[in-house]
Amino acid sequence: MNSTTDVWQGHAGWHWSLPNGDSVFVAQQGAHVLSWQAQGKERLFLSPQSVCDGTTAIRGGIPVCFPQFNQRGNLPKHGFARNMPWRLVPERSQGASKIFELSANEHTLTLWPFQFKAFLTVNLSPNSLQISLSVENQGPQSLSFTGALHTYFAVDHIAQVSLQGQASQPEWDAVKDTHQTCADQLRFEAEFDRVYDANTQTQPTWTLQDGNASLQISQSESWGQSVVWNPGADKCAQLNDMPANGYQHMLCVEAARVTSSIEVPPAQTWVGWQLLKI
């Protein structure tokens, strides 16, 4: 299966599809998955007001946050990877699985003094999408980073959405700065920004229920944490790249490492993935 170069809401990138009609679009900027269509329905939220200039962060889809989560360091918010062009690696891509690469360069070294290669594998299969990030340390000293696959899911209306699967796991509410355990079922009636420590005994799995439709979200143990986020009405109104009602139609469920660093020794590779299933 060959991917075709294409444009999605003004963003240049690559598009490919399966015989059943499922498809995916990956932008050159950030190797950013902007669209995943399965069973005839768009599964990812992409803001219609997202800036399209090739360098400004794209609001929606699946941003790759690397090598920093949010503003927890001296780098640009969520790192530099999501704002830089990645290249398709055709010699390593097969069928409906495509691999994209970002390597250390003069610009990244001014921000983050480490030699690295990052690869994003986007694997499309019927009713399923797996995103895998690998980071190779090509330098003489260990490197450390935080980050996420910051997935924005499209929902019909946030008021009818629930999320479950991490009951009793440690939960940090970043809005209220409180610590507690995760409830059996999460609902979203206001700004929601919480970090969950992953269960080390099993691969963390969430079930997103949107009315009668459900979606399974799992991730590798190597991430260590999950983030669930919805800006709510007030914060959404402050975001220039979101419509005022945008919060009603999205929910972020992220495979992440937020409060501690991932360490990669010299000549070693770290891999973390997120798997989405209808």
CA distances from 254 to 194, 206, 275 (A): 10, 10, 11
The torsion of the CA quartet 270, 111, 151, 264, rounded to 10 degrees, works out to 10
Q: Are strands 4-8 and 11-17 parallel, antiparallel or unpaired?
A: antiparallel
Q: Which of 207, 195, 199, 193 is nearest to 169 (CA)?
A: 199
260: number of Cβ within 10 Å = 11
- For the question of residue 189 being annotated catalytic, the response is no
- For the question of residue 263 being annotated catalytic, the response is no
CB 144 within 8 Å of CB 232: no
Q: What CA–CA distance (Å, rounded) separates 190 from 173?
A: 13
Q: Which two tokens stand for residue 166?
A: 């991490």
Give me the residue label for tokens 């399965």.
38
**Secondary element (H or E) of residue 225:** strand 225-230
Give me the residue label for tokens 């799995």.
205
Which residue in 150, 179, 249, 263 is the catalytic one? 150
Q: Which two tokens stand for residue 183?
A: 């409830």
17: number of Cβ within 10 Å = 16
CB 187 within 8 Å of CB 162: yes
Which residue in 32, 78, 136, 254 is the catalytic one? 254
Active site members: 150, 254
